[in-house]
Amino acid sequence: MSIPSRIIWAAMLWVLLRPACGFAAGIDTEHIYGFMIGSDVGDPGEREFQTTSTGRFSKQAGAYQALGQELELEFVPIKNLRIEIETTLAAYDIQSVPGLVDRTQAGWQGAALDLRYQFLDRETALFGLTLDFESHGNRIDETTASRVQNFGNELTVVLERDLIPRLAVATFNLGYQPEWTHFAGLPTAEQESTLTAAFGVMAQVRPDFLLGGEARYFRQYGGIGLNELAGEAFFVGPTAYFQLSDRARLTATWSFQAWGRPAGTSATLDLVNFERQQARVVFGLNF
Q: What's the DSSP call for residue 19? A: P
Half-sphere exposure of 153 (CA within 13 A, CB side): 7
Residue 6 has pLDDT above 90, yes or no: no
Per the CB < 8 A criterion, the answer to whether 8 and 34 are in contact is: no
18 belongs to a structural domain: no
Give dist(CA 154, CA 142) in Å, integer.
Answer: 15
11 belongs to a structural domain: no
Give dist(CA 51, CA 4) in Å, integer.
Answer: 13
pTM: 0.90
23 belongs to a structural domain: no
CATH number for 99: 2.40.128.130
Residue 11 has pLDDT above 60, yes or no: no
29 belongs to a structural domain: no
| pLDDT given for residue 20 in this prediction | 41
Closest to 235 in 3D by CA, of 251, 250, 253: 253
- For 181-232, write each residue's pLDDT tens digit: 999 988 888 999 999 999 999 999 998 999 999 999 999 999 999 999 999 9
132 belongs to a structural domain: yes
Q: What are phi and psi of 15, to 5 degrees?
A: -65, -45
Half-sphere exposure of 255 (CA within 13 A, CB side): 27
CA distances from 152 to 80, 109, 141, 206 (A): 25, 14, 12, 39
For residue 106, what are the contacts with CB-CB under 8 A and spacing of at least 6? 89, 90, 91, 92
38 belongs to a structural domain: yes
- Number of structural domains, the chain? 1
- CA torsion 106→175→112→146, rounded to 10°? 30
Q: What's the mean per-residue pLDDT of the chain?
A: 93
Residue 2 has pLDDT above 80, yes or no: no
Residue 42 has pLDDT above 80, yes or no: yes
Task: Show the domain range for 233.
Answer: 34-286
Q: Which residues of 201-229 are buried (b: 16+ CB within 10 A; e: fewer)?
A: ebebbbbbbbbbbbbbbbbbbeebebeee
What pLDDT band is residue 7 in, cutting at 50, 70 and 90? low
Average pLDDT over residues 143-149: 96
- For 51-99, write each residue's pLDDT tens digit: 999 999 999 999 999 999 999 999 999 999 999 999 999 999 999 999 9
193 belongs to a structural domain: yes
